[in-house]
Chain A
Amino acid sequence: MELQFLGIGILTWILFLPVAGMILILLIPGERIQAIRITATAITGLQVILAAVIFRHFDRGIEGINSIEGFQFVEQFSWITVEAVPWFGRIEIFYFLGIDGLSVLMIMLTALIGLIGAISSWTITKQVKGYFALYMLLITGMMGVFLALDFFLFFIFWEVMLLPMYFLIGIWGGPRREYAAIKFFLYTFVGGILMMLVMLALYFSVAVPDPVTGELVHTFNLLHMMNPAYYVEGSLLAGVDTTWRYVAWMALFINFAIKIPLFPFHTWLPDAHVEAPTPISVILAGVLLKLGTYGLLRISFPIFPDGTMYFMIFMAVLGMISIIYGAFCALAQDDFKKLIAYSSISHMGIVVLGIAALNTQGMVGGVLQMFNHGIITAVLFLMVGVVYDRTGKRGLNDFGGLANQMPKYTGIAMVGMFAALGLPGLNGFVSELFSFLGAFEAYRWIAIVSVFGIIITAGYILWTLQRVFLGKTPEHLTNLKDLTTRELVCFIPLVILIILLGVYPSPAIELMNTSLSYLVQVVTVPAY
């Protein structure tokens, strides 16, 4: 399937539109704040339109994962070619984009959250130009990770994303922003180095015969790395179930676990969330965390099926710990943002639990949970942003009785919080259901213990609702205004999705069903 505008593929459009936007923003004089905001919103809006076009034209029946024929809207050009470098041989790096059922939902999520984040960024008043320029770059970085099928390209976007995030937290953040930003940076950077080492090891282990000369050429092509036939005899990662392959799996896993974040690699998240400005929290929890689980599914699972099978219980246990531990920690918080940060850890644990089941329903549940958590947590962070903008406070005990004072806000917040609680009829329930069903089939007891997380979740959600929204409105809150139109514009699409996917999740599940069942096969049925 090819889709082009002006001779340029749709994936390149959706990927580099924000870069174009960044250049445009940099050209606008810094004092014309409104123009900058409108540009950023328009660009991210265009991305949403492109995502909708992709949704319309995406073929639900194609598998993807490890064959180029399975990918859609593919664009592959030789990007960097260096002939005969000593040691390396011929280096070939491809600009290689494509989507399948695994990435398509993430593209939609990134585009949508990108737009919502841009609209909610209108409240930023400090150095607006710089902010939006970095914001645009961030979107490209995230989009690129989801689109790249060349490991080198994947790595580049992975690192590209890091820098704007660092500055967005470090400059526009709260009082302890420098600490949070550097912590975020170091954590992810360490992970990045591990990933780079694995990438190089894979590069030297995989070689593909040149179609013309027949000469063996090393490659960064992810799809080739998934094919055991391309591994060079005697190379570091050749073979099955070797120690080095396990080490490589673990190194990749740590990198992705930091991003997810899984216990015990999670402590950067609460700090980053607390200090980040609202829209950046939305992006961080809404999209960035999904890169971790996406990386596992895109890279670790199909390239190292042996390692994945070997470590699957380990993964499931970490998922379980994250679910319970995150929920307990959330219960102990009195800062609204920290509470949501820990709830994210808990909810991302469900993703890991689901995908570690290595069966179709668990996988579908996990990936759907990635999307759903993105939507729900965006609502939750926007929700905190609303009261933080009005009062400058976000302690759970600083509020009370908002239900009478701000009825619209309360209604929307309740939908978001009930979705996080896993209430049937809202989207969170569907993905949790399938994740648990998958996990239960694979590891009965781990799933049973994890189910108790939903009780604790009910506890912290309802307690938060009570403290913030119920009760009498205290004197100092009686002049709070209900949601503005701009805020409603941010919330409403998300709330509609929460309800829609809760009642009828099929459109989302159909997108990924074929690819994910195939991925399960790829991992569990060895090709050798």
Chain B
Amino acid sequence: MLQLSLLILLIPFAGFLILIFFGKRLPRQGDWLGTSFLGITLLMSVFLLISKIASIPGDTLSYSFSWVIIGNPDAGGFSVDLGVMIDNLTVVMLVVVMLVSFLVHLFSIGYMKDDPRYSRYFSYLGLFTFSMTGIVLTDNLLMMYIFWELVGISSYLLIGFWYEKKSASNAANKAFIVNRIGDAGMFIGIMILFIHFSTFSFDAIFSGIQAGDLPFQSTAWLTAAGILIFCGAVGKSAQFPLHVWLPDAMEGPTPVSALIHAATMVAAGGYLIARMFPILTAEALLVIAYIGAITALIAATIALTQHDIKKILAYSTISQLGYMVMALGVGAFTAGFMHLVTHAAFKAGLFLGAGSVIFAMHHALHQKHDHKTDAQDLRNMGGLKSRMPLTYWTFLIFTLAISGVPLTSGFLSKDEILAGTLAFSSLNGHYLLPVIGFVVAGLTAFYMFRLFILTFHGKHADESRVSDLKESPFTMTIPLMILAGLSTFVFYSFNPFAASGGWFFSAIERPLSLVPEALQPASAEVFAQAVSALHTPALILSIIIAGAGIFGAVWVYQWKKTSAVQISEKFGALYRGSFNKWYFDEMYQAVFINGTFIITKVLRWFDETIVDGIVNGAAYVFERFSVVNRWFDEHIIDGLVNLTALGTGVLGKVLRKLQTGKIQHYLAFVVLGMLVFYFIII
């Protein structure tokens, strides 16, 4: 199994290398190569999933090797090991990644058909899949961080794929830099754990903490390490306050949004929390739960009023990620992770469906030589149902799933999350969490049906513009149909109203908390009891709320009983706040971006004027000094020298008189000198 998992890791990387160097020379620019590679790894990971869960559900397999040795490991040094491990979490996540990646490859064959950098696109997809697989398979924090950054760079490359557009390259920069902020926190968290345990391995760190060995012997540092590592998830999973990059990331090609910015990479945050769960203290988990709840609420309120189909889906993604994070924070571990999986299927489907619509719109507008109309704006859509039936019906299933309507996968996981938050509040009194959870559920149903109705129902604003609009090709609709199938309940639990009896809940169990007893969250048993007591009320409430949300959307947008414009005017300030995304971008621009630029300008000025000024000033002083020195030299020193010279000259003149040229005189001088010498010595 381990060899197989390494193959799953390396095959996409091989695809990346082949395509980046030889892609253009391959027939069809190598799209078949990337896609078939992913097909192979998908089959492999399905095989891995089945054989792992069927034969050895309780085991964890791992393999590691020494990457670098620092110092002498026997005397204070350490070895940095890299490795992979396989447990149930891993195999489930692998299938999710490979499946969505494969379908997105397939979809992209149609969607990206005429792009000038077609093979480059597929190579980046390979790089991304490789990096994502690394995150899934790692058995240590270092590799987690390494691949964490690598998915970041693949995301950067794909968001900025159409880099001729300034908005695309801006969005790519924003995504990477905002993520770096989270990553810096994560890096510090990793350092705290590493310095204490001299290892990055999950297993070794966990067993150290279980033995009561805390970083710097302090519970505060343990909580801090947990929260700091969670910062990585805040960045990658676009949680408040770092959520601002994800909507902009929609500048990338739509299939990329489906793969990276909806189904897999952004869910990596959830995966990270799930991995670190055993060492998160109750306080850290509470922070996580509230961050998730705040994120879910903020994003859902923004999604209500947007016009861009992809932006709405982006905010809905943020909101759903908030759900997952909140679920993990309250201890509804399995529900949170299950939502990650179900969300991956239906959100990938929603994005690919939106991609199908955009693709069709784009081509229809292109036929009419209309390059002004925005192919992604809801106001330019409507009535597409009859023209794109496959897209329509699959989109309906995805919308039902995300709204949490029974018989869908989304219902199963969302219901469990809501029951979990209720149970948590019944144990700890944090009632805000379930309230937010239910409100967001209603908002989600409302804005998703708003999107759905405005896109497919009603009449198109201007029929003539879309008269050439037709259904997308099969490479694009087949992935939609597969994902629609996967958005039904049967794949997760045979009981459409409760996930807890299905294979998923028995395969993915909440791990034991390993932190000291006083810091532990409510134990899994206590929590499970509370959940089962509250499950039925949560179930009923969530169905009612989803129904209310859907009804509201139908009331306003389908039957037009109440005008949306009137509602928005009534809630003027709130509407503007929501429409302008609560002004986060403006705030960050004013405080952080402008602040940074002011600092850089000040420092540049400081560097050029003060630091260099001192240097040049010193040089100037020395130069002046040297001028004085020169005067001194020329007049005083040289004067002395000249004086000496003069003296010497005079002496010479005198002495010259002695040089008569007569040998007798010289002899006389010599004798005289010797006599003088003689008398001096004696």
Interface residues, chain A, with chain B CB atoms under 8 Å away: 183, 186-187, 263-264, 266-268, 325, 328-329, 331-333, 360-361, 364, 401, 403-404, 418, 423-425, 429-430, 433-434, 436-437, 440-441, 447-448, 451-452, 454-456, 458-459, 462-463, 466, 469-472, 504-506, 509-510, 513, 517, 520
- Residues 176-214 of B, flagged 1 when their CB comes within 8 A of A and 0 if not, give 110011001001100110110000000000000000000
Q: Let me know if B150 and A425 touch, CB within 8 A.
A: yes
Compute how far the CA of A510 lies from the CA of B77 in the bound complex, rounded to whole angstroms.
13
A461 CB to nearest chain B CB (Å): 9
Q: Let me know if A329 and B600 touch, CB within 8 A.
A: yes
**Number of B interface residues, CB 8 Å?**
48
B148 CB to nearest chain A CB (Å): 8
For A263, what are the chain B residues with a Cβ–Cβ distance below 8 Å?
611
Residue with the greatest number of chain A CB neighbours at <10 A, chosen from B72, B145, B603: B603
Compute how far the CA of A513 lies from the CA of B142 in the bound complex, rounded to whole angstroms.
20
Q: B70 within 8 Å of A by Cβ?
A: yes
Q: Let me know if A458 and B177 touch, CB within 8 A.
A: yes
Compute how far the CA of A401 lies from the CA of B68 in the bound complex, rounded to whole angstroms.
40
Compute how far the CA of A1 lies from the CA of B611 in the bound complex, rounded to whole angstroms.
48
A474 CB to nearest chain B CB (Å): 12
Q: B624 within 8 Å of A by Cβ?
A: no
Q: Which of A183, A328, A430, A433 contacts B599 (CB 8 A)?
A: A328
Q: B633 within 8 Å of A by Cβ?
A: no
For B619, what are the chain A residues with a Cβ–Cβ distance below 8 Å?
183, 186
The stretch from B158-166, B434-442, B571-579 touching chain A is B158-166
Interface residues, chain B, with chain A CB atoms under 8 Å away: 67-72, 76-78, 142, 145-147, 149-150, 153, 156, 160, 163-164, 166, 169-170, 172-173, 176-177, 180-181, 184, 187-188, 191-192, 194-195, 596-597, 599-601, 603-604, 607, 611-612, 615, 619
Q: Let me know if A455 and B71 touch, CB within 8 A.
A: no
With A328-B600, A459-B177, A513-B71 already in contact, the answer to whether A436 and B146 are too (CB < 8 A) is no
For B153, what are the chain A residues with a Cβ–Cβ distance below 8 Å?
418, 423
Compute how far the CA of A4 lies from the CA of B67 in the bound complex, rounded to whole angstroms.
35
With A360-B77, A454-B180 already in contact, the answer to whether A470 and B70 are too (CB < 8 A) is no
Compute how far the CA of A458 lies from the CA of B187 in the bound complex, rounded to whole angstroms.
15
A265 CB to nearest chain B CB (Å): 9
Q: Let me know if A440 and B195 touch, CB within 8 A.
A: yes
Closest A residue to B612 using CB positions: A267
Q: List 11 A-B contacts (CB under 8 A).
A: A267-B615, A328-B603, A331-B596, A331-B597, A332-B604, A360-B76, A424-B145, A424-B150, A455-B181, A509-B69, A510-B69
Compute how far the CA of A25 lies from the CA of B153 in the bound complex, rounded to whole angstroms.
47
* 7 A-B pairs with least C-beta separation: A360-B71, A424-B146, A332-B604, A332-B600, A470-B163, A470-B169, A267-B612
Compute how far the CA of A509 lies from the CA of B596 in the bound complex, rounded to whole angstroms.
37
Q: Let me know if B180 and A455 touch, CB within 8 A.
A: yes
Q: Let me know if A506 and B68 touch, CB within 8 A.
A: yes
Closest A residue to B216 using CB positions: A444
With A267-B607, A328-B600, A418-B153 already in contact, the answer to whether A425 and B146 are too (CB < 8 A) is yes
Q: Let me know if A437 and B184 touch, CB within 8 A.
A: no
Given A433-B142, A505-B68, 8 more contacts at CB 8 Å? A329-B607, A331-B597, A360-B77, A361-B70, A423-B153, A454-B184, A513-B71, A517-B72
A347 CB to nearest chain B CB (Å): 16
Compute how far the CA of A447 lies from the CA of B69 in the bound complex, rounded to whole angstroms.
22
Closest B residue to A401 using CB positions: B164
For B69, what are the chain A residues with a Cβ–Cβ distance below 8 Å?
506, 509-510, 513
Q: Let me know if A451 and B176 touch, CB within 8 A.
A: no
For A462, what are the chain B residues with a Cβ–Cβ distance below 8 Å?
156, 172-173, 176-177
Compute how far the CA of A304 lies from the CA of B180 in the bound complex, rounded to whole angstroms.
39
Q: Let me know if A329 and B604 touch, CB within 8 A.
A: yes
Q: Let me know if A452 and B146 touch, CB within 8 A.
A: no
Q: Let me know if B603 and A325 touch, CB within 8 A.
A: yes
Compute how far the CA of A504 lies from the CA of B146 in the bound complex, rounded to whole angstroms.
13
A408 CB to nearest chain B CB (Å): 11
A108 CB to nearest chain B CB (Å): 18
Q: Which of B70, B188, B603 contacts A360 (CB 8 A)?
A: B70
Compute how far the CA of A185 lies from the CA of B180 in the bound complex, rounded to whole angstroms.
39
Q: Which of A183, A267, A459 contacts B596 (CB 8 A)?
A: A459
A417 CB to nearest chain B CB (Å): 11
A315 CB to nearest chain B CB (Å): 19
Q: Let me know if B596 and A471 touch, CB within 8 A.
A: no
Compute how far the CA of A103 lies from the CA of B607 in the bound complex, rounded to whole angstroms.
33
Compute how far the CA of A187 lies from the CA of B187 in the bound complex, rounded to whole angstroms.
37
Q: Let me know if A471 and B166 touch, CB within 8 A.
A: yes
B370 CB to nearest chain A CB (Å): 22
For A451, what are the chain B residues with a Cβ–Cβ distance below 8 Å?
184, 187-188
For B76, what are the chain A residues with a Cβ–Cβ distance below 8 Å?
360
Compute how far the CA of A471 lies from the CA of B160 in the bound complex, rounded to whole angstroms.
10
Closest B residue to A342 using CB positions: B607
For A458, what are the chain B residues with a Cβ–Cβ distance below 8 Å?
176-177, 180
A34 CB to nearest chain B CB (Å): 33
Closest A residue to B168 using CB positions: A470
With A360-B76, A517-B72 already in contact, the answer to whether A466 and B169 are too (CB < 8 A) is yes
